[in-house]
Chains A and B, each alone.
Chain A
Amino acid sequence: MKRLHAVTGVVRALQYGVNGLSIPFFFLLVGSTGLEAALGMDFGGSVIDLLFVVAPLFGLLGAGYGVATYLRFEYELTEDTFDFAAGVVGRTEREIPLRRIQNVDISQNLWHRLLGVAVVRIETAGGGGTEAELSVVSLGEANRLQREIRERRDSSRRATEAEPAAAETDEEAPAEDAPTGSSTADGAATTGDSGVLEPLFTITPVELAVLSITRFRPGAIVLVIIGLPVLPELAGEFLLAAADPFGGPETMDLPGATADELLVLAVVSLPLVLVSSYLVSGVLSAVGYYGFQLARSGTDLVYERGLLQRYSGSIPSDKIQTVTLRESLPMRLLGYAALDVETAGYAGQRAEQGSQSAIPVAERSRVVELARDLGEFSDPDFERPPKRARRRYGVRYGLVVAGLLAVLYGASTVVAGFTLWYLPAVLFLLVPPAAHLKWANRGYHVGDHTVVVRTGFWRRRTQVVPYYRLQTVIRQASVFQRRLALASLVVDTASSSTLVRATPTAFDIDAGTAATLQRTLRDRLHLELQGRERRGS
């Protein structure tokens, strides 16, 4: 059994020591003030004296506990499992079969980089969080773990492939082979060189710039809004000055301004906030994806990225659930695209960090080529939803605009000095093109080994789901959809997150087609599973 890096002991001692030190301060100072008031007594200086004795004692206790958590954490990489034991009072001992490991991630913040250490996280498909977190080990050890887990998993897989009767069975079982069609070729190619990295993609400065321009992180808005109060004077003056030519309020005395003035101020400052968020977001993207590299090692994909904080992760390509081609509108205009892969590893919070970008951005043809390389990606001709779906979107958007006008009209009767309520009526002009674009970007394609769905105009997603990855197939139709004989087909896989990445769905297809398609997908799943089985044995 091994311990974490010795730095952990020092850091934990400091961390828990400070915590321990602060507890008596809180309880004695707050508690004694309360008691004094309650009992009508005056403890005087005795509380401070007591503090001088108790606080260091608690500090030492805390530090001791910190060191103990370090001493009591041990891990080991065995032939076919990763084991660890942790906990001072309550003990956790866990064995993770290497073949069940989905992702091995290494991350380093600035401090870690200065000290040459890193955090290693190991993810499996089970559980609600990270299954093992080693915080911190030396960078060399982190890389060794990532590499050896990969190599040992590969060799254990080869051993089972030679003797199929011993194969463990579970939901992953049909997926343990490499993707269809390439399984034999891959097996032969990787036997000798599973430790060698075969570079697939390195981000160029141009691509990094495109990434910064095209990828907007909504988090940046929050950052800017939180940042505003830091420079309230400057930002406020700037916004006022910007709104002034259009008839905005003259001073920061907002309650004294008329409703029209406030409206103008809002209309002017909103884009300014968005623009500054956009700049912040661009910088964040550039820093986060600086030096992005993707490589193949055996059946795994390994990536690395980051200027200040370094991240690196491994994704087993035979555990990929869906492949998503992401093209936002700016990306499409520039001819670029991004590729995401999803495994079942990440859960909850970690799933939202978007750390699974196989390719953050690259020229579209190159992305498609790489996607094909990864699995059964196809960039087919799509079957569009029927035209009545387009009408439906038109009605929907029209109602939204009408609703907005109604609300604003209502507000104008109540609020004095607010007469511009009809301004948003211009939005009606946008309804037909919006409905058309939404319709035109939706579609599905039933391929030989995959079903492909596409949706979204601003951020178009093309999701490729191999038949053998299907979990449940859900057909649903709301009242409005049924009126037009439409239905949506949801193709569920074992991917981790649904909060950020939508479940692959063919929206608003003909109800009859949807029913047939549901049946087809079920049949294909079984054909694929049987076919794979026959190949495997």
Chain B
Amino acid sequence: MEALHARVRIRWVLRGLVGAVLLAVVVTAAAVFFEERLADAGVWTFLPGLLVAVLGLLFGTAHAVLLYRDWRFELQDDALYLERGVLTRVETAVPYVRVQHVDTQRSPVDRSLGLSSVVVYTAGSRGADVTVPGLTPERAKRLRNELRELAVESEPEDAV
């Protein structure tokens, strides 16, 4: 079983940070609206927002660390196998015969961190696209090529 690149944690923490900030903005907007009531209760207007931001960041970071700890993938004999998840653990098997096409993707954040993702598409209705995030660009490219070859090899017409 192969783990992801450690830097992917930074990417996930950043994602958590964005979420925390957005949540904090919403809470602060509400706090400003009830400014007088809060002042009566002796609460600083920006305190709830700040608290939410700090808590959100803490949760985001914990989530990122835990997610990284358990994320594993493997090219098995007949399928790409992935294990992931913090609260709900998900283990997915994507048979090579079912692979429609394979992408490598790099978002701006990925590029600045020197990371890349591989996305595997199937014709399924649920989990039709399976993403392996946090790979080095070389590994991503290699994985994509490996998957492509495995998909072509396992073409049912050749399986006889």
Contacts and interface: CB of A to CB of B under 8 A. Distances in A.
A498 B124 CA distance: 10
Interface string B80-92: 0000010111111
Contact of A471 (B91, B124, B159, B160): B124
Contacts of A478: 87-89
A169 interface: yes
Contacts, number: 104
A281 interface: no
Interface in A431-489: 470-479, 482
B70 interface: no
B125 A171 contact: no
A74 interface: no
Interface string B122-141: 11111110100000000000
Interface bin, chain A:
35 or more
B125 to A, nearest CB: 5
B67 to A, nearest CB: 14
A472 B94 contact: yes
B97 interface: yes
Contacts of B94: 472
A321 to B, nearest CB: 9
Contacts of B87: 478-479
Contacts of A344: 123
Given A494-B124, A533-B159, A526 B89 contact: no
B125 A503 contact: yes
Contacts of B160: 530, 533-534, 537
Q: Which of B85, B93, B98, B124 counts the most A-chain CB atoms under 10 A from its CB?
A: B124
B79 A522 contact: yes
Given A174-B156, A529-B159, A503 B88 contact: no
Nearest to A321: B125
B159 A503 contact: no
B72 to A, nearest CB: 14
B126 A473 contact: no
Contacts of A260: none
Contacts of B97: 174, 525-526, 529
A152 interface: no
B95 A526 contact: yes
Given A476-B90, A529-B159, A470 B95 contact: yes
Contacts of B157: 167, 169, 173, 533
Contacts of A496: 125
Contacts of A498: 125-126
Contact of A474 (B90, B95, B159): B90
A525 B122 CA distance: 15
Interface string B84-114: 0101111111110110100000000000000
A187 to B, nearest CB: 19
A309 B115 CA distance: 55
A168 B100 CA distance: 14
Nearest to A494: B123
Contacts of B155: 169, 173
Nearest to A514: B91
A503 B100 CA distance: 20
B78 A494 contact: no
Given A525-B97, A530-B159, A533-B159, A474 B127 contact: yes
Given A171-B98, A472-B126, A476-B89, 17 more contacts: A169-B155, A171-B122, A173-B156, A174-B97, A471-B122, A472-B127, A473-B93, A474-B127, A478-B88, A478-B89, A492-B126, A492-B127, A518-B91, A529-B156, A533-B157, A534-B160, A537-B160
Interface of B: 78-79, 85, 87-95, 97-98, 100, 122-128, 130, 155-157, 159-160
Closest 5 CB pairs of A and B: A471-B124, A492-B124, A494-B123, A478-B88, A475-B91
